[in-house]
């Protein structure tokens, strides 16, 4: 398959690049923001005409959750309009479209794993635009797979794991939020599952019923404070973790307190079971 990957220098995009060096099944074109700005409709069209891809994996996103509260236009241009441009181009070229969304679209108050069919009640600008982006994609084109994921980290880019490693070495104690529960998700696992899904869809005789929205996160659950402790334990860092609350931390954008995602739909459709977050964390930390 000829696969184009947008936003290729982000966490998931970089993991896809690393993965592609270990597999030679597909012909990839990795596009940074400088290569293709997805908010530019004409540039997207031109790029698709040039490459005629069989699939597009969209790793491009506006991910500055707090900044989105004061920059809604920038968030909208990328997370809604940009996604629409790609879905329309995929439709024109009959290419599979794989896109990522967020647990923030649910903003759930459940205490059981959230299903894809559960209500969406996004609270902040980023969350609202991620949901609008999903809808724009599905409205433009039926052959979309949208993976809603959570708490992404990687050896690449900026993320909680790398911040903890840096701060944990410098400080004796850190206050970390303990009332948000979810599953940290290794971007390498997102990259791996993404390629597996494209492979599996290609093998299906009649894939029409398989398109749509799926949750994907690592298995298990934790909170940010315990996640930090796990990072310190694995790395032998002695920094103490003091628990705090979301309200006391006071970030500009609202955060869901419950983000544990059900994987039942993914398992039923594709036979894929995500591995436990602790196993993925250990693997990531070995590389850091």
Ligand X SMILES: NC(=O)c1ccc[n+]([C@@H]2O[C@H](COP(=O)([O-])OP(=O)(O)OC[C@H]3O[C@@H](n4cnc5c(N)ncnc54)[C@H](OP(=O)(O)O)[C@@H]3O)[C@@H](O)[C@H]2O)c1
Residues with catalytic annotation?
A: 126
CB of 111 to ligand X, least distance (A): 20
| Part in contact with ligand X (CB under 6 A); list of ranges 4-12, 241-249, 260-268, 277-285 | 4-12
Classify 174 as helix, strand or coil.
Answer: strand
78 binds ligand X (CB under 6 A): yes
Of residues 137, 224, 155, the one with CA closest to residue 12: 155
Q: Could you give the CA distance from residue 121 to residue 131 in angstroms, rounded to a whole number?
A: 9
Window of 5-13, 115-123, 198-206, 246-254 that interacts with ligand X by CB under 6 A: 5-13
Can residue 57 be called a binding residue for ligand X (CB under 6 A)?
no
Asked whether position 212 contacts ligand X by CB under 6 A, the answer is: no
Selected binder of ligand X within 75, 120, 149, 180 (CB under 6 A): 149
Burial class from Cβ neighbours inside 10 Å (0-12, 13-18, 19+) for residue 4 reads buried
Structure tokens at 41: 């409709």
- Using CB under 6 A, pick the residue from 4, 12, 174, 230 that binds ligand X: 12
Residue 219 interacting with ligand X (CB under 6 A): no
Query: Which CB sits closer to ligand X, 5 or 173?
Result: 5
Would you count residue 241 as binding ligand X (CB under 6 A)? no
Sequence-distant (6+) residues with CB within 8 A of 203 are none
CA 184 to chain centre: 11
Phi, psi for 11 (deg, rounded to 5)? -60, -55
Residue nearest to ligand X (CB): 10
Q: By CB under 6 A, tell whether 259 contacts ligand X.
A: no
Q: How far apart are CA 164 and CA 235, in angstroms?
A: 11
98 within 8 A of 72, measured Cβ to Cβ: no
Assess 83 for contact with ligand X (CB under 6 A).
no
Q: Is 100 in the site for ligand X (CB under 6 A)?
A: yes
Could you give the 3-state DSSP secondary structure of residue 190? Answer: helix
Q: 């739909």: which residue's tokens?
A: 265
Which CB, 77 or 234, lies closer to ligand X?
77
137 lies in the site for ligand X, by CB under 6 A: no
User: Shortest approach of ligand X to residue 172 CB, angstroms?
Assistant: 27
Q: Which of 3, 4, 5, 11 binds ligand X (CB under 6 A)?
A: 11
Span of 9-17, 170-178, 207-215, 278-286 interacting with ligand X by CB under 6 A: 9-17
Distance (Å, whole) CA 141 – CA 251: 35
> Is the CB of residue 29 less than 8 Å from the CB of residue 4?
yes
Site residues, ligand X (CB under 6 A): 6-7, 9-13, 33, 36-39, 59-63, 78, 82, 100, 102, 130, 149-152, 157, 187
């Amino acid at each position: 398959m000829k696969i184009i990957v947008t936003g290729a220098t982000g966490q998931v995009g970089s993991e896809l690049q690393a993965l592609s060096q270990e597999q030679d099944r597909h012909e990839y074109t990795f596009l940074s923001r400088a290569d293709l700005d997805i908010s530019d409709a004409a540039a997207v069209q031109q790029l698709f005409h040039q490459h005629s891809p069989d699939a597009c994996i969209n790793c491009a996103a506006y991910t500055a959750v707090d900044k989105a509260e004061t920059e809604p236009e920038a968030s909208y241009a990328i997370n809604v309009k940009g996604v629409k441009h790609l879905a329309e181009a995929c439709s024109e070229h009959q290419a599979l479209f794989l896109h990522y969304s967020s647990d923030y679209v649910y903003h759930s108050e459940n205490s059981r794993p959230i299903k894809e069919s559960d209500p969406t009640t996004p609270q902040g600008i980023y969350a609202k635009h991620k949901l609008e982006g999903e809808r724009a994609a599905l409205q433009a084109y039926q052959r979309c797979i949208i993976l809603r994921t959570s708490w992404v980290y990687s050896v690449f880019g900026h993320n909680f794991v790398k911040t903890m490693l840096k701060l944990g070495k410098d400080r004796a104690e850190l206050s970390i939020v303990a009332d948000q529960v979810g599953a940290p998700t290794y971007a390498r696992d997102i990259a791996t599952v993404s390629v597996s899904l494209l492979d599996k869809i290609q093998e299906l005789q009649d894939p029409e019923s398989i398109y749509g929205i799926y949750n994907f996160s690592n298995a298990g659950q934790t909170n940010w404070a315990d996640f930090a402790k796990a990072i310190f334990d694995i790395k032998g860092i002695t920094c103490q973790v003091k628990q705090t609350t979301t309200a006391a931390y006071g970030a500009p954008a609202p955060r869901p307190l419950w983000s544990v995602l059900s994987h039942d739909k993914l398992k039923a459709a594709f036979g894929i079971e995500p591995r436990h977050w602790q196993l993925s964390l250990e693997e990531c930390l070995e590389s850091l």
